[in-house]
Amino acid sequence: MCLDQALTNKEIAQRLGSNPATVLHHVRKLVDTGFLAPQEERTGARGAREIPYLATRKSWALRLGEEFWSDMSTAMMDVFQTEVAQLGDPSKVNAARLGLRMNEEQYEAVNKRFKMLLNDLAEMQPGPGAKPYSLFLAIHPDATRD
């Protein structure tokens, strides 16, 4: 949300459909932990002091222990569903699903390729006329097959 454009607490709250006071608490936590960086203060409507915040990309380099994976996966899936719902047009989502059978070695090789691809994409500089896109990638055991 704050990756390409610095947003004020009020703007973040509006995009989330949340109470600005509640969002401010979370914004401050994200600033304190280095996930958001305050930008130059500006004057808003009616002379109000506003501080826009920009994402630091710290979350991309973050490596959490296995005990956090469940919460993280759930949060990412929730964000994905919210972002897709906000598009209003499901045809704007380029999605694919593939069922596979892999042994542990193959699974690890696929995961390694995913990480390499995501790292390459994270380092890519936007080209002329670049537009914002999000990429959601998941691999999981298929509980519907044996």
Q: Which H or E run includes 3?
A: none
Do 117 and 68 share a structural domain? yes
Do 45 and 79 share a structural domain? no
Q: Does residue 129 lie in a domain region?
A: no
Non-local (6+) Cβ contacts of 7 within 8 A are 1, 15, 52, 53
| Residue 55 C-alpha from the chain's centroid | 10
pLDDT for 30 equals 86
Q: How far apart are CA 80 and CA 133, in angstroms?
A: 12
Do 83 and 54 share a structural domain? no
Q: Does residue 131 lie in a domain region?
A: no
Do 118 and 73 share a structural domain? yes
Q: How many residues does the chain have?
A: 146
Do 78 and 31 share a structural domain? no
Could you give the angle at which helices 20-32 and 9-16 cross, rounded to 10 degrees? 120
- Domain around 102: 63-123
Q: Does residue 137 lie in a domain region?
A: no
pLDDT for 4 equals 82
Domains in the chain, number? 2
CATH number at residue 39: 1.10.10.10
Q: Does residue 46 lie in a domain region?
A: yes
Do 67 and 52 share a structural domain? no
pLDDT for 117 equals 94
Q: Does residue 135 lie in a domain region?
A: no
Do 68 and 53 share a structural domain? no
Running DSSP on this structure, what letter comes out for residue 4? S
Do 79 and 107 share a structural domain? yes
Q: Does residue 141 lie in a domain region?
A: no
pLDDT for 92 equals 92
Do 87 and 54 share a structural domain? no
Task: Determine contact, residues 20/13, Cβ cutoff 8 Å.
Answer: yes
Running DSSP on this structure, what letter comes out for residue 20? H
Is pTM beyond 0.85 here?
Answer: no
pLDDT in tens, the chain (146 residues): 788 889 999 999 988 888 888 888 888 988 888 888 999 999 887 888 899 999 888 776 666 666 656 666 777 788 788 888 888 888 999 999 999 999 999 999 999 999 999 989 988 999 999 998 989 888 999 988 88
Neighbours of 12 (CB within 10 A): 21
